[in-house]
Amino acid sequence: MEQIAIETKLKRYSVVLGDEALHFLPQQLKALPGSISNILIITDETVEKLYLSKLVSILSDEYKVFTHTIPNGEKAKSFEQYYACQSAALTYGLDRDSVIIAFGGGVVGDLAGFVAATFMRGIRYIQVPTTLLAHDSAVGGKVAINHPLGKNMIGAFHQPEAVIYDISLLKSLPEKEMRSGFAEVIKHALIKDANFYHWLKEHIHNLDDLQGEKLQYCIKKGIQIKADIVREDEKETGIRAYLNFGHTLGHALESELGYGSITHGDAVALGMLFAIWLSEKEYDTLHYREFVSWFERYGFPVSIPNHLEAARLLEKMKGDKKAKAGNVRMVLLKDIGHVEIKQFEDEQLLAFIQQFSQI
Ligand code: NAD
Ligand code: MG
């Protein structure tokens, strides 16, 4: 079992990572300051079927445990599901000494975290991630639900008391969800850690390699890099923007294709390829073609679907949070681990998207 310490300005907490880490949850709960009146586990339908009884049995000897299940998928990050969670919390008699456990992927983590951030002005919560992508969402303290006018628009910063990452739970994860989470692992390597990038190329030949110790190492490095960046940004270096690598085009692709028809990770992978292609033009250090062959090994899409229009993608990219004063700021790589943010004029970027769409 590994323990990773996460430090933020306001809080210090641990990520317990490993096979069967779930059994370390009672220990983490006992270590919390103050008493615990009761626990509400929030999970989704799939995770409920697979693992909820296991988690309940680990906790129910020592704690009064309630559970609440939300539907699967992004649509659950809604006002309706948020309201239903709050109603459950009130009905079960949660109070300021209660703890919420977010048991699932990023959707459950974001929703349950936001419920915890706002129930009675904020109570404690613990993240128990069950997807690979959640290595990203469980760290950093951002919690949110979606508004029909924008994703993650209603939210808060609320750090968990602990993260319990049991990698044995990831065995049931469908391949496309594994690939989706792996895109963010690759992103973390590319923006911050050349050694990890070389390790990935050498050790993860295909998605089947994402098991056991190798999977654990990927999660550990991903969490450490994310946590380092988030911590450094508390000093207002602005480097949190580096985490948007691949996301400017990625978000545009998700939005144009429709959420759910492409995974976040597949969209980000293609977005990273575009950013690498631009980086090669700009700095001539990286070779885009090598990344295409590398990404193909995992089954990532490597070209923009033909029916998508460059002009519409550009519009969506401008709508992205990073677009300032009409120009799009792209996160580029001068080299592996060396990020530079570059601003593009609309026409120039449009021409680049068109060119990229045709290769
Ligand atoms: P998800 O939570 O929807 O999980 C993906 C799918 O896998 C779901 O259908 C789920 O039911 C299923 N699943 C979960 N665990 C499983 C398991 N162990 N076995 C089998 N199936 C399982 O999606 P996700 O990719 O984990 O997270 C995406 C969300 O995370 C998005 O809403 C995104 O906005 C958010 N996110 C937040 C942050 C942040 O900083 N807060 C960062 C990145 C992403
Ligand atoms: Mg992302």
Residue 149's pLDDT is what?
Answer: 85
Ligand nearest to the CA of 151: 1
Q: Quote the CA–CA distance of 264 and 250 in Å, as a whole number.
A: 7
Q: Quote the CA–CA distance of 188 and 237 in Å, as a whole number.
A: 18
Residue of the CA atom closest to atom 33 of ligand 1:
106
State whether the beta carbon of 180 lies less than 6 angstroms from ligand 1: yes
Residue 187's pLDDT is what?
Answer: 98
Q: What is the mean pLDDT of residues 28-33?
A: 96
User: CB neighbours of 201 closer than 8 A, spacing ≥ 6?
Assistant: 294
* Residue 271, pLDDT above cutoff 70: yes
Q: Walk across the sheet containing 65-70 and list its strands.
A: 2-7, 12-18, 162-166, 124-129, 99-104, 39-44, 65-70
- Is 8 annotated to bind a ligand? Reply is no
ipTM beyond cut 0.95: yes
Q: Is residue 29 within 8 Å of residue 176, measured between CB atoms? A: no
Q: What is the mean pLDDT of residues 157-164?
A: 97
What share of the chain in percent tops pLDDT 90? 90
Q: What is the mean pLDDT of residues 221-247?
A: 89
Pocket test for ligand 1, best of 42, 70, 133, 172 (most atoms within 8 A of CB): 133
Residue 258's pLDDT is what?
Answer: 84
Residues present in the chain in total: 359
Backbone angles phi, psi at 153, to 5 degrees: -80, -20
The pairing of strands 39-44 and 338-344 is unpaired
- C-alpha distances in Å from residue 224, one per residue of 99, 140, 151, 202: 25, 11, 26, 20
Q: Quote the CA–CA distance of 145 and 331 in Å, as a whole number.
A: 26
* Residue 63, pLDDT above cutoff 80: yes
Alpha helix (H) residue ranges in the chain: 25-31, 45-47, 53-59, 79-91, 106-118, 134-137, 175-192, 194-203, 212-234, 247-257, 264-283, 288-296, 310-319, 346-358
State whether the beta carbon of 130 lies less than 6 angstroms from ligand 1: yes
pLDDT band at 321 (very low <50, low <70, confident <90, very high): low
Ligand nearest to the CA of 110: 1
User: CB neighbours of 60 closer than 8 A, spacing ≥ 6?
Assistant: none
* Residue 281, pLDDT above cutoff 80: yes
Q: Quote the CA–CA distance of 192 and 185 in Å, as a whole number.
A: 11
Q: Quote the CA–CA distance of 204 and 217 in Å, as a whole number.
A: 11
208: which DSSP letter?
A: G
> Letter for the amino acid at 283?
Y
Distance 350 CA to ligand 1 centre (A): 32
State whether the beta carbon of 75 lies less than 6 angstroms from ligand 1: no
Distance 137 CA to ligand 1 centre (A): 8
Residue of the CA atom closest to atom 1 of ligand 1:
105
Q: What is the mean pLDDT of residues 280-293?
A: 97
User: pLDDT digits over 172-191, tens only?
Assistant: 999 999 999 999 999 999 99
* Residue 342, pLDDT above cutoff 60: yes
DSSP 51-108: IIHHHHHHHTTTS-EEEEEE-SSGGGSSHHHHHHHHHHHHHTT--TT-EEEEEESHHH
- Is 46 annotated to bind a ligand? Reply is no
Q: What is the mean pLDDT of residues 2-16?
A: 93
Q: Quote the CA–CA distance of 271 and 267 in Å, as a whole number.
A: 6
Q: What angle do CA 155, 159, 160 make, to 5 degrees?
A: 115
State whether the beta carbon of 250 lies less than 6 angstroms from ligand 1: no
* Residue 9, pLDDT above cutoff 90: no
Q: Quote the CA–CA distance of 337 and 160 in Å, as a whole number.
A: 28
pLDDT band at 324 (very low <50, low <70, confident <90, very high): low
In 10 A of CB 104, how many CB atoms?
32
* Residue 196, pLDDT above cutoff 90: yes
pLDDT band at 326 (very low <50, low <70, confident <90, very high): low
* Residue 156, pLDDT above cutoff 60: yes
In the block, which residue shows the tokens 């062959």? 293
Residue of the CA atom closest to atom 12 of ligand 1:
46
pLDDT band at 260 (very low <50, low <70, confident <90, very high): confident
User: pLDDT digits over 127-139, tens only?
Assistant: 999 999 999 999 9
Q: What is the mean pLDDT of residues 316-325?
A: 67
State whether the beta carbon of 262 lies less than 6 angstroms from ligand 1: no
Distance 136 CA to ligand 1 centre (A): 10
Kindly report the average pLDDT of the chain as a whole number. Answer: 95
Residue 96's pLDDT is what?
Answer: 98
Helix or strand or coil: residue 194? helix
Q: Is residue 63 within 8 Å of residue 92, measured between CB atoms? A: no
Pocket test for ligand 1, best of 43, 52, 69, 177 (most atoms within 8 A of CB): 177
Residue 170's pLDDT is what?
Answer: 98
Pocket test for ligand 1, best of 45, 50, 130, 172 (most atoms within 8 A of CB): 130
